[in-house]
């Protein structure tokens, strides 16, 4: 298992390449939440999501061959891997499922990546990417179940803890890279709460079963939170350090997206608004005096989609 020192080392390595994203602190009552609330606008990170941190760490910590990199993604990780590869002078091939949003596919191409859309779900895109890497010798940059990647992702929690005081951090979960990195970084000091949609309950079902299990994926956040099984190293960290797991409806996510735009003029994709949705819908209810925080972790969507 990685720990805080691993995440701290990753943060030092990637700092010259990523942004220190802003935090908005709001009083109790904001967005209908009874507790003081801190929002970290990680959607303003390079490539439009927290994924830039993990992608840069993987490339900087690895010997990248002449064939470059290969990655599979619902879109955000692919964009981050493509962005990091371009910045560091490497070739990139990205495999995405056919449900990936047009905005995400367009961003991949804008970063100079060769894009392949394969299969309806992430697992099929990942299998295709692994076959391609075996053919070419490219470095595989996994989206979430590589400790090098999620150590980089966890740097967002260290940065957030420097910027604001909070007792509880709500984290959206797909394959589990972000929550594993955040939990390793600050889970000993802060209550970590996992948030997933009802259509993407990967960690929730794994915790119930006591081990990673396959789940059916559907709904509004399937492109970003659509891993059908939690990563094994991610699960090992989560079951030790994640205190609670909650689910939210697609409607709750849409409401949170709209509220972010209406109140703050902040655009969030569904995955990026999932933590706030849990607070607004009451899936997680803070105790009296509890200070809560969440990450607006991605914004790779179109403004029209939140209307």
Give me the number of domains the chain comprises: 2
* C-alpha–C-alpha distance, residues 267 and 256, integer Å: 10
Task: Tell me the per-residue pLDDT of 113-165, one tens digit each, with 9 for 90 and over.
Answer: 999 999 888 788 999 999 999 999 999 999 888 999 999 999 999 999 999 99
- Give the domain-ending residue among 140, 172, 201: 140
Give the pLDDT of residue 306. 57
- Give the domain-ending residue among 91, 113, 140: 140
| CB neighbour class for 60 (10 Å; exposed up to 12, middle 13-18, buried from 19) | middle
| CB neighbour class for 76 (10 Å; exposed up to 12, middle 13-18, buried from 19) | buried
Give the pLDDT of residue 299. 85
Tokens found for residue 143: 């989206």
Task: Tell me the per-residue pLDDT of 69-84, one tens digit each, with 9 for 90 and over.
Answer: 999 987 788 999 999 9
Boundaries of domain holding 132: 51-140
> How much of the chain, in percent, has pLDDT values that exceed 70?
95
Instruction: Give bridge partners of residue 114 from the DSSP assignment.
Output: 93
The residues of the chain scoring below 70 in pLDDT are 221-226, 302-307
Give the pLDDT of residue 228. 78
Q: What is the CATH number of the domain that holds 74?
A: 3.40.50.1100
39 assigned to some structural domain: yes
- Give the domain-ending residue among 89, 116, 140: 140
146 assigned to some structural domain: no
Tokens found for residue 251: 């409607």
């Amino acid at each position: 298992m990685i720990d805080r020192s691993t995440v701290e080392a990753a943060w030092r390595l990637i700092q010259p390449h990523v942004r220190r994203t802003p935090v908005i602190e709001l009083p109790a009552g904001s967005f209908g939440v009874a507790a003081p609330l801190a929002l970290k606008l990680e959607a303003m990170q390079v490539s439009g999501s927290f994924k830039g941190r993990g992608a840069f760490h993987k490339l900087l910590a690895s010997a990248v061959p002449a064939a470059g990199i290969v990655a599979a993604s619902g879109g955000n990780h692919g964009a981050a891997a493509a962005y990091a590869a371009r910045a560091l002078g490497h070739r990139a091939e990205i495999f995405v499922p056919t449900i990936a949003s047009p905005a995400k596919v367009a961003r991949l191409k804008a970063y100079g990546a060769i894009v392949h859309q394969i299969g309806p779900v992430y697992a099929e895109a990942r299998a295709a990417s692994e076959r391609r890497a075996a053919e070419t010798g490219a470095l595989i940059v996994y989206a979430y179940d590589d400790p090098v990647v999620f150590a980089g992702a966890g740097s967002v929690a260290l940065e957030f803890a420097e910027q604001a005081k909070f007792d509880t951090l709500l984290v959206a979960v797909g394959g589990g890279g972000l929550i594993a990195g955040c939990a390793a970084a600050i889970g000993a000091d802060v209550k970590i709460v996992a948030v997933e949609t009802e259509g993407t309950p990967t960690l929730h079902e794994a915790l119930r079963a006591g081990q990673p299990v396959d789940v059916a994926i559907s709904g509004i956040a399937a492109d970003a939170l659509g891993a059908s099984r939690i990563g094994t190293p991610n699960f090992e960290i989560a079951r030790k350090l994640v205190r609670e797991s909650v689910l939210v409806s697609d409607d709750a996510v849409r409401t949170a997206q709209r509220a972010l735009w209406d109140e703050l003029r902040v655009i969030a994709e569904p995955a990026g608004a999932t933590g706030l949705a849990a607070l607004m819908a009451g899936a997680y209810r803070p105790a009296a005096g509890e200070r809560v925080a969440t990450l607006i972790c991605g914004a790779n969507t179109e403004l029209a989609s939140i209307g």
